[in-house]
A and B are shown apart, each in its own frame.
Chain A
Amino acid sequence: MIDLEHIQVSYGKHEILHDICATIASRRITAVMGPNGCGKTTLLRCIGGLLEPTAGKVTIDGQEVGSYSAKALAQKVAFVRQQVHTDFEFSAFETVLMGRNPYQKRLQNESQADWDIVEQCMRQTGTWHLRLAKSHEMSGGELQRVMIARALAQQTPVLLMDEPVSNLDIAHQLEIMRLLRTTDKSVVIVIHDLNLALQFCDDLLLIHNGNLLFHGPIAQGLTTENISMVYGVKSHMAEGRIIYDY
């Protein structure tokens, strides 16, 4: 269970997040939505312990995020971010294997169990055939799926995802979203596609100008009024889908 208690984040005078309070339920997929630059990624970084909020606190399973050791937190929370290529040529297999770091002692070699977990996670994300490919030999979508495999290999109860499907084609988007449905993780996902979110997510954190506008079941949150207010886009619902008017 993730508790956000009065989270406020400011950079200098500029306030990014204002007094966010929410309890994110376990084993559900929570979509974080809102227009570009509204503080979604900042919120995710706070939950992942990568950014200390200016005020307020984040607790996971009753313990404040900042008080976990790096490895203990990495056994609780995995983070998939918007992907960048590196100039160093690790293979996909080696990349996913890094996700096992929180469970390894320094100087210790990986065990058979680690390798088995890596293989399983790569098969789950449909990247096993890419295991020997280097980062620059993969397409953006393939790389993204490798990064998801790495997060899965961390075997954490919480999975944070910052636009994990934004540069995937629709088939792979669906594959990843289906995969998320089959895990029993608590997933917090930044996602832009309203209909995809509506179809696959349980809850919604709707952020508007740094304020939490709505938190609850996604079907109740993605109303035409909220969409109009947050995005300034007119829409209507038809057969449970959001249709944009233009």
Chain B
Amino acid sequence: MSHKPYKSYKSSHANPWVVLGLSVLLAATMVVSCMFGAVDISWDEIVWRSPIFWQLRLPRVLMGALVGAVLSVCGAAYQSIFRNPLTDPYVLGVSSGASLGAAVAILLGLEAWLWGVGGMALAMALLTVLVIYKIASIGNRMHTTTLLLTGVCLTLLISAVISFLMVLNQEKMDSIIFWTMGSFGSSSWTDVWMLLPMAAIGIGVVLWYSRDLNLLLSGSEAAQSMGCEVEKVKRVLLLFTTLMVAFAVSSCGVIGFVGLIVPHAVRLLAGPDNRKVVPYSILCGAIFVLVCDTLARTLLRPSELPVGSLTSMVGAPLFIYLLYKNKKGY
């Protein structure tokens, strides 16, 4: 056993210097991200109120940061709740559930109503979580394979339903396709003001319960006998994380694997303690999605890649690697 200094394993809360450093990095990424796009904006124009900057670029950058933070924090929470490092809102099919809700809302013409799309997305996402959670709570410890297969099957089922809806309603196909491939291309200030309060409350809730997330990793009964109100904590966390995912998806579509990649990378560097993983993931997730979105709109200028395809190209191989490592066992 190595002999690290005593202090090195005593710090359990987030290091304020790391948080500060990541915040500065996030701010810098936002500024750089604002400058690049189909049209590059110079620093002067940012200051001099270029309409591209104020009406298109800034809300898009803010949405990228918010969605990145939200998906990462939800990934971290899901991984503890389901005691499985391979889960996130995308893998479990919750994001797809939300996109189905959004598609149904569009077909029913609920777009005009402010909370129509978000509300339907939330309802369908909650339904998906409920199904997953019911299956996950059969028996004492859930098998990774069962959980992941359930998620994959739900995703397949949902995309089949979405295809079905699209064929029936060909005139609205384009706006539905948008939800299945995440993009910040149409982000507006309305999206920012819709998501911001949800994100603030949801992230606050996850931070508040971050120590309970550690306890949940020991299993429900162990957590309970260490004084964690397991059922309440799980219910509150699942509700608020699903709320965040639903609103993120209803404004920018399904962006895959963010919630898997970011907490995993953070854990590699900072260890498994959720009191660090959660706050660091918020900031790193925002940075990660911003970088991906900047690349998505600059790589093939003037056309744009869906940002979801970029995150999946990074995330899917990592997922397979983790699955492989997991299967080898310890």
Interface residues of A (CB under 8 A from B): 45, 48-50, 70-71, 73-75, 77-79, 81, 84-91, 93-95, 97-99, 101-102, 104, 106-107, 109-110, 115, 129-133, 136, 150, 154
Contact = CB atoms under 8 A, between A and B. Distances in A.
B45 interface: no
Contacts of A81: 221-222
A70 B227 contact: yes
Contacts of B218: 86, 95, 98
B1 A88 contact: no
Interface of B: 1-2, 4, 9-10, 12-13, 83-85, 141, 208-209, 211, 214-215, 217-219, 221-222, 224-230, 267, 271-273, 326, 330
A132 B4 contact: yes
A136 B219 CA distance: 16
Nearest to B140: A84
Interface of chain B, helix or strand or loop or mixed? loop
Nearest to A103: B227
A50 B227 contact: no
B217 A101 contact: no
Given A75-B227, A132-B1, A154-B226, A94 B12 contact: yes
11 contacts: A50-B224, A50-B225, A70-B227, A79-B222, A84-B219, A86-B217, A88-B267, A89-B267, A95-B218, A109-B13, A130-B1
Q: Which 5 A-B pairs have the closest CB atoms?
A: A74-B227, A136-B330, A102-B227, A79-B225, A71-B227
A49 B227 CA distance: 11
Nearest to A100: B226
Contact of B208 (A50, A88, A106): A106
A98 B330 contact: no
Contacts of B326: 87
Given A86-B218, A132-B4, A73 B227 contact: yes
Nearest to A75: B227
Given A84-B141, A107-B208, A89 B225 contact: no
B225 A94 contact: no
A101 B221 contact: no
Nearest to B3: A132
Contacts of B211: 101, 104, 106-107
A127 to B, nearest CB: 11
B226 A74 contact: yes
B215 A101 contact: yes
Contacts of A90: 214, 217, 271-273
Contacts of A77: 225
Nearest to B208: A106
Contacts of A110: 10, 12
B217 A85 contact: no
Contacts of B272: 88-90, 94
A90 B2 CA distance: 16
B9 A88 contact: no
Contacts of B224: 49-50, 70
A170 to B, nearest CB: 24
